[in-house]
Amino acid sequence: MLSDPLAELRAINAKFIHNFVTNDVKSHDEIIHDRFLCIMPDGSQWDRDAYLRYWATAFNPEAIVYLDNRDEMITIYGDVALVRATNKYIRRDKGEEKTSMTIYTDTYLRTDGNWECIQAQLTSVAPQNWPGDETIVRTYIRGHLQIDRGRAQSAALAF
């Protein structure tokens, strides 16, 4: 465990994204709360078990050929933290590529010194609201990490 909550949350967010790209359910299980809930872009609500089942196969590097994580903002309110960022992804389906972005807000609780995500909410982003490439934190191509700017591009507030 790091002594700096902001550094801890940056590292956990990087791990969250990496777990998705590598379909690492075991590692992901360690950072989500027992009462975790995910609100998907269509408004459906997934409990922890449904979410982890999805997580096991959600990323396919042949279908998601590009993924970046950008515009990261971490806000800490004592033992509660909001981690917000946007993922840009290019999906390939039947030879056609479609570029989209999804913004997420993950809510973390610090219990016994450990941060755990208790809720994730994802929302599709219209192209006119896409954050710029200058805010890219990390980039994956076909599931392989290419760029990790980590702290250099992260913004944070603590209250």
Query: Does position 155 have pLDDT exceeding 60, yes or no?
Result: no
> Is the separation of the CB atoms in 30 and 116 below 8 Å?
no
Tell me the per-residue pLDDT of 138-151, one tens digit each, with 9 for 90 and over.
999 999 999 888 64
Instruction: Report the 10 Å Cβ neighbour count for 85.
Output: 25
Tell me the per-residue pLDDT of 74-107, one tens digit each, with 9 for 90 and over.
999 999 999 999 999 999 999 999 999 999 999 9
Global pTM?
Answer: 0.90
> Is the separation of the CB atoms in 40 and 4 below 8 Å?
no
> Is the separation of the CB atoms in 70 and 136 below 8 Å?
yes
Instruction: Tell me the average pLDDT of the chain.
Output: 92
Q: Which of 95, 92, 88, 91 is nearest to 127 (CA)?
A: 88
Residue 29 belongs to domain with CATH number: 3.10.450.50
Tell me the per-residue pLDDT of 11-61, one tens digit each, with 9 for 90 and over.
999 999 999 999 999 999 999 999 999 999 999 999 999 999 999 999 999
Domain that holds residue 42: 5-158
> Is the separation of the CB atoms in 139 and 68 below 8 Å?
yes
CA 66 to chain centre: 15
Collapsed DSSP state (helix, strand, coil) of residue 127 = helix
Q: How many CA atoms lie within 13 A of 27 on its CB side?
A: 13
Number of domains in the chain: 1
